Amino acid sequence: MNVPLHQLLSDEFRSRIASGVWPEGTQVPSESELCREFGASRGPVRQALAALRAEQLVVGGRGRPPMVRSAVVSQSVETFLSFTDWAQTLGKVPGQQTQEIARRPAGAEIAAQLGCDPADPVVSLLRLRLLDGEPTLVERSHFVADVGRLLFDFDTDSGSTFRYLLDAGVDLHSARHIIDAVAADPTDAALLGIPEGAPLLRERRVTESIDGRKLEFAEDRYRPEMANFLVHNTVHQRVQMARVQSTPERKEESHD
C-alpha cells in the first residue's frame, strides 16, 4: 500500500526537527523551497506542515513564517517553583501585567475551596503572565484576607507574589493541584489574544500552611502550545508532577 506523499513529507520534517537539521527556534524552509527540494506540489507540502503545526512542532502561519518551536525545560513540583522561577530556568524573561487586585467577599465557589464562609473577605488577583513578552497564561489567585492584604504593599507587576509572600513570612507549605481543560472565556480570549472558546490547559490549586490552614485558591489558564504537564510515578515513589513549556515528549510544573 502506497504511503501518501504528505505523510512521507511530514515524517521527513519530523526527523529533521528531531535530529537538529532544523534547529529549534529557526525558520522552516519556505513552501517553494520544499517543493523544489522534494519535487512536490504545494498541496502535500502544506498538508505536511499542517500536521506538524497540529503536533505543535511548528508554529506560525496566518501571515507569519513557520518556525520550529523552541524546546522547554522542566520544573519540579517538589521544589514548588513560582512562575517567575520556572521562566528563569527556561532562560526566558518572565513578565506579568496586573489586571485587577481587590478585596471582596469570597462567594460560594472560592469559599468552598478555602473552607470559609461566602461572606468572608478574600483578596483576589488577576494577572496576565508572559514568557519573553508572549502571553502565556491568565492567573486568578484568591488569598485569605490576612495573607492577601500583604499584596497591597507589593507591586504585583514586578514579579512573583509567591516569592514575596514567602519572604514576608507566609507559610506557603504545600499545594494540591487539579489539572484539566477549559474553554477560554471572554477575559482569557482578550488577554491571551485567542478566540473565545479556544481550549486552554487549566491548573487549579489550593495552597496550605504546614498546619493545614488553606491560604490560597488559584486557577491558572495556559495556552496549551506554551505549557503542558507531566506526571511521573513509580511503585516506590509518590507521584511527582511537572509543568513544561509545550513541546512533544518533554517534562515539568509550577505555582504562583
Which pLDDT does position 71 carry in this prediction? 56
Domain match, 85 and 149 both: yes
Q: Judge whether 249 lies within some domain.
A: no
Helix (H) or strand (E) segment spanning residue 111: helix 107-114
Q: Judge whether 255 lies within some domain.
A: no
Q: What is the pLDDT along the chain (256 residues), one digit of tens a residue?
A: 578 899 899 889 988 887 888 988 788 999 999 999 999 999 999 999 988 887 778 876 555 678 887 654 444 344 445 788 777 767 788 999 999 999 999 999 999 999 999 999 999 999 999 998 999 999 999 999 999 999 999 999 999 998 899 999 999 888 888 889 999 999 999 999 999 999 999 999 999 999 999 999 999 999 988 876 655 555 444 545 556 566 544 434 444 5
Q: Judge whether 19 lies within some domain.
A: yes
Q: Judge whether 250 lies within some domain.
A: no
Contact yes or no for 41/4 (Cβ under 8 A): no
Q: Of 68, 83, 114, at which residue does a domain stop?
A: 68
Domain match, 187 and 215 both: yes
C-alpha cell at 229: 504537564
Q: Give me the CATH number covering residue 32.
A: 1.10.10.10
Q: Judge whether 168 lies within some domain.
A: yes
Q: Give me the CATH number covering residue 183.
A: 3.40.1410.10
DSSP letter at 77? G
Report the domain count for the chain: 2
Q: Judge whether 256 lies within some domain.
A: no
Domain match, 104 and 122 both: yes
Q: Judge whether 214 lies within some domain.
A: yes
- The model carries a pTM of 0.65
Domain that holds residue 46: 5-68
Closest CA to 137 of 55, 207, 226: 226
Domain match, 23 and 146 both: no
Q: Of 41, 68, 95, at which residue does a domain stop?
A: 68
Q: Judge whether 236 lies within some domain.
A: yes
Domain match, 158 and 227 both: yes
